[in-house]
Structure 1
Amino acid sequence: MTRMTADERLRDGSLLEERIQTLLKPSVRKIDCEAYYPLDYMTALGRDGFFRSEGERAQEVRMAGVRIVEETAAACMTTAFNVWCHLAALTYVRHSGNAALRRTLLPGLENGELRGGTGLSNPMKFYAGIDKLYLKAEREGGGYRVSGQLPMVSNLGEGHWFATVSETAGGERIMAFFPVGAEGLRLEERLGFLGLNGSATYSCSFDRVSVPEEWIVSESADEFVARVRPEFVLYQIPLGLGVTAAAIRSIRQAKEKQGGCNGLLPVQPEQLERELERLREATYRLASQLEEVSAWKALLRVRLDTVYLTLQAVQANMLHQGSAGYVQTSAPSRRLREAYFFANLTPTVRHLEKLLAAQSLPVDESLL
């Protein structure tokens, strides 16, 4: 197909909408109820150029990523979460100073041949002072051996890679990628969640897994994670934006139910739309100015506000839909479960509140 720039992907949503309509929407119930992984959709995004970054400005790439997650989440947040995992993995590779790693992974991650997961939930909690690191690394030759266990890593399967952080006996922390299928790496699928069982989530046990030099993202993980953390959080925000937009549409569809008495409910679509538009504008503004020192606290504020708006919107959606929303396989009940996952996605609501409380600088209001 003709090469699209990130800017063109933002302005012309027809191809993305076509992929959502044909490759994603027909499978949403199967994804939600049967833990189905939408491989065709994930592959198509790469094949169609939605993940391409060569020759494009970083701001355009970030804004395109936000748009992809938001539009996908409006149809299915499980799949949008998988897209977020992939974008996070792409972020790590793009920022790595290891040219061999970039040659190995970047083309495949961008063109849809490979998919990426992110094992940074535990490290993000570690850097916030609320958990210990679960993986240990031993130096061996030019690389390392990694051991330990991660309870949950998502977007995994054949042809998938994921990154995580491990610590040496000397207290140094390294970040590296691992392919699913690496010798000594054992995966066990995690199911039985309230929602998002189609997210291809596994516990990962490392038994002295070899890490050659070409898999190393950074041998200074502390500084590297601090550098990529804003993009990690940025791409999460549109998960909530998409779910909220879908909930508002569903509320409007129920306007005439029960003789129009939905108009008496305390939360109406207009107020949700105003807050949604404010947060959407702030998200794209942050995507274009993420390098600003003041962006981090504003980013945390927008991420947290989006969680609270999403929770409010899906609850209102359930009330406006009434008994129709109470069916287990209904879209409103699915969005309710998706929203509670969003609230517990690292950084969780309480994690975000802690991060914001620790910031000494005030929020830059011009970014909100």
Structure 2
Amino acid sequence: MPMVMEKQEVLAELIAQELKPYVKKIDQDAFYAESFLRKLGESGLLLSAARPQAEVLADGLYLVGETAKTCMTTAFCLWCHLAALTYVRTTENEKLKADLLPSLENGTLLGATGLSNPMKHYAGLETLHLTAKRTDGGYVVSGVLPSVSNLGRDHVFGAIAGLNEQQQIMVFVSCNSPGLTFKEKNDYLGLNGSATYSCTFKEVFIPDDRVLSEDANAFVAKIRPTFIAYQIPLGFGVTNASIHSIDKMVNRQNGCNQYLRTQSPELQQKEEEYQQQLLTLISQEPLDWKEIAKIRLGAAYLTLEAVQTAMLHNGSAAYLKVSAPARRLREAYFFANLTPTIKHLEKVLSL
């Protein structure tokens, strides 16, 4: 279910003009490609009105995958925005949807997810970091989220807070909310251009018209398949770019790379199989989140294999800090540790 040709051409032009020239700056100087994200919306590539869910999802997968071929940091930021869009498209809070969905889809408002800790909480890996208390007209939220990406002064993000042990709420938070403070995190191995911050909530008021759900447990069950599905092409994009870098090296040093154990056709076959499995799954309703999680896990392992193979095929040239294979190596290790991480997925799929 590929994106229509006209949209593909628009995306290719945006990547060429708004992303490719900045890839090294993103990787080396923690540059945040905000303009690219906004122009995706301005170009109409995020619209969902009067379109089947499977078509909207397939288009989002294509956007992430094509972006990741050039820069997975920015593709990850796009995934954050698509996650936020998923929350708003799914909520039964019609005022929230009416207020925010148009601006999230047209690029005037950018969103983020904030669900790393809650997803780990529901898998039994962590305690919930945010607490909420009911007050007149909404809730007061306190606590700390260690890292939320794709944030900016006028951005919004989803978060889950516990009222008590039995009930959690999911809210949509404005970054300019009083009582909310940020500390930038840019000392990672890679993806420092992802606008990632730790977020400290000190009695942040969330009005009722910004509550996504009073039952976060049930809401997460609804959004989780799409949340995970949108991550998968992050790996596909990096894998595809790695395959191309391997193919470029085929004649170097008198064709010596032919003796390496892993070659690009093997990687390409695995990638195509996973892509077909994913497209088949998203055409079915309801989405089976465990089947999607299996593909997410397989894609993570494949991406690690692809970047390591590309490092070997590119030889000493890849061992420069600024090389594209080295960047993709760091991107792949981020993908392996993106919630749900490989060990998180291994646990939930074993149950």
Q: Same fold (TM over 0.5)?
A: yes
1:240 touches 1:307 (CA, 8 Å); kept in 2?
Answer: yes
Q: Which runs of 5+ in 2 are unaligned?
A: none
Aligned to 1:330: 323
Which of 289, 314, 322 is the equivalent residue of 2:307? 314
Which of 253, 260, 281 is the equivalent residue of 1:265? 260
Aligned to 1:64: 59
Q: Distance in 2 between matches of 1:116 and 1:233?
A: 17
1:199 maps onto 2:198 in alignment: no
What is the CA distance between 1:195 and its match in structure 2?
0.3
Flag the 1:134–1:10 CA change in 2: closer, same or farther, 3 A: farther
Q: Distance in 1 between matches of 2:42 and 2:245?
A: 32
Aligned residues: 351
One-letter amino acid of the counterpart of residue 36, structure 1:
F
Aligned to 2:251: 256
One-letter amino acid of the counterpart of residue 345, structure 2:
L
What is the CA distance between 1:290 and its match in structure 2?
4.9
What is the CA distance between 1:170 and its match in structure 2?
6.0
Q: Distance in 1 between matches of 2:280 and 2:41?
A: 25
1:10 touches 1:67 (CA, 8 Å); kept in 2?
Answer: no
Q: Distance in 2 between matches of 1:252 and 1:72?
A: 20
1:116 touches 1:160 (CA, 8 Å); kept in 2?
Answer: yes
Q: Distance in 2 between matches of 1:284 and 1:184?
A: 43
Aligned to 2:112: 117
What is the CA distance between 1:141 and its match in structure 2?
1.3
Aligned to 2:98: 103
Aligned to 1:153: 148
2:2 touches 2:62 (CA, 8 Å); kept in 1?
Answer: no
What is the CA distance between 1:182 and its match in structure 2?
0.4
What is the CA distance between 1:46 and its match in structure 2?
0.3
Q: Distance in 2 between matches of 1:59 and 1:159?
A: 30
Q: Deviations over 1:65-85 (max 9, x none)?
A: 000000000000000000000
Which of 127, 132, 136 is the equivalent residue of 1:132? 127
Aligned to 2:9: 14
Q: Deviations over 1:160-216 (max 9, x none)?
A: 100110001463200001111100000110011000000000000000000101110
Aligned to 2:205: 210
Alignment of 1:1-368 (within 5 A): 9=4, 12-169=7-164, 171-292=166-287, 295-358=288-351
2:7 touches 2:45 (CA, 8 Å); kept in 1?
Answer: no
1:10 touches 1:63 (CA, 8 Å); kept in 2?
Answer: no
- Report the RMSD for the aligned CA atoms in angstroms: 1.2
Q: Distance in 1 between matches of 2:52 and 2:158?
A: 24
Q: Distance in 1 between matches of 2:170 and 2:66?
A: 31
1:62 touches 1:288 (CA, 8 Å); kept in 2?
Answer: no
Q: Distance in 1 between matches of 2:299 and 2:178?
A: 40
DSSP 3-state at the match of 1:208 = strand
What is the CA distance between 1:297 and its match in structure 2?
2.2
DSSP 3-state at the match of 2:193 = coil
Q: Deviations over 1:22-71 (max 9, x none)?
A: 11000000000101011111011000111100010101000000000000
What is the CA distance between 1:8 and its match in structure 2?
5.2
1:9 touches 1:50 (CA, 8 Å); kept in 2?
Answer: no
1:147 touches 1:208 (CA, 8 Å); kept in 2?
Answer: yes
1:327 touches 1:333 (CA, 8 Å); kept in 2?
Answer: yes
1:151 touches 1:204 (CA, 8 Å); kept in 2?
Answer: yes
2:87 touches 2:212 (CA, 8 Å); kept in 1?
Answer: yes
What is the CA distance between 1:12 and its match in structure 2?
4.6
Q: Distance in 1 between matches of 2:201 and 2:146?
A: 11
1:93 touches 1:105 (CA, 8 Å); kept in 2?
Answer: yes
Q: Deviations over 1:65-120 (max 9, x none)?
A: 00000000000000000000000000000000001111221011000000000100
Q: Distance in 1 between matches of 2:203 and 2:129?
A: 13
What is the CA distance between 1:258 and its match in structure 2?
1.0
Q: What is the percent sequence identity of the aligned residues?
A: 50
Q: Distance in 1 between matches of 2:272 and 2:78?
A: 22
What is the CA distance between 1:296 and its match in structure 2?
2.2
One-letter amino acid of the counterpart of residue 134, structure 1:
H
DSSP 3-state at the match of 2:131 = strand
Q: Distance in 2 between matches of 1:298 and 1:332?
A: 30
